Amino acid sequence: MKRPSGRAADQLRSIRITRNYTKHAEGSVLVEFDDTKVVCTASVEAGVPRFLKGQGQGWLTAEYGMLPRATGSRNQREASRGKQGGRTLEIQRLIGRSLRAALDMSKLGENTLYIDCDVIQADGGTRTASITGAMVALVDALAVLKKRGALKGGNPLKQMVAAVSVGMYQGEAVLDLDYLEDSAAETDLNVVMTDAGGFIEVQGTAEGAPFQPEELNAMLALAQAGMQELFAVQQAALAD
């Protein structure tokens, strides 16, 4: 089996995280998984949704979108259609769930973190790139909150979170699928993990034949190994 990119089965794409990518957001990054590029921002607003008022805890929510020409052909803006598509809603809920797992909301105070992930170029793995990049933007936003004196209960950050795709391609488990592989994969999994080794979410679909337990184990093992590299990339970006 030869991957279209020429990568080994257990090889991630080239990954780069550029911090402070935009001027105004408390945290912002450009995350690049080769040709997949996503701008992730973390914005802070005082106050929480109505269902949390008076409880002394914070909230995090996420939005996801893809620019009209992020792909090979132009997609209509969802705003012009008057509603978000099911895929968009699913992905932004995944991003929100994943990043909330990184935080102790009781230490955030009554503040809301808004995570925005905007895909400017797509070549597979946009949701996993969004989570991995947005985690870094979130850490920077928390640093701003601390500097403002808005964190009264200590550091809300419990753990780092990252995500990667794995799949069965031509009968073999492979890590970090690009578009050519994703569109032809027999099985596609998106895996979200913590830097302590815990799983937050595993989304898996058999596009062709059902996958077997040993194939699932092989894919999860690849994801776990690749995740260590992703956490190293995040830490290197935060150290800059």
Name which of 40, 183, 62, 43 is nearest 120 in CA terms. 40
Q: Which pLDDT score is estimated for 5?
A: 92
Q: Which pLDDT score is estimated for 27?
A: 98
Residue 165 near residue 124 (C-beta atoms within 8 A):
yes
Q: Which pLDDT score is estimated for 83?
A: 83
Residues in the chain where the model's pLDDT stays below 50? none
What contacts 206, CB < 8 A, 6 or more positions away? 186, 187
Q: Which pLDDT score is estimated for 152?
A: 79
Distance in angstroms (rounded) separating the CA atoms of residues 129 and 117: 9
Q: Which pLDDT score is estimated for 61?
A: 97
Question: 37-60: per-residue pLDDT in tens?
Answer: 999 999 999 999 888 898 889 999
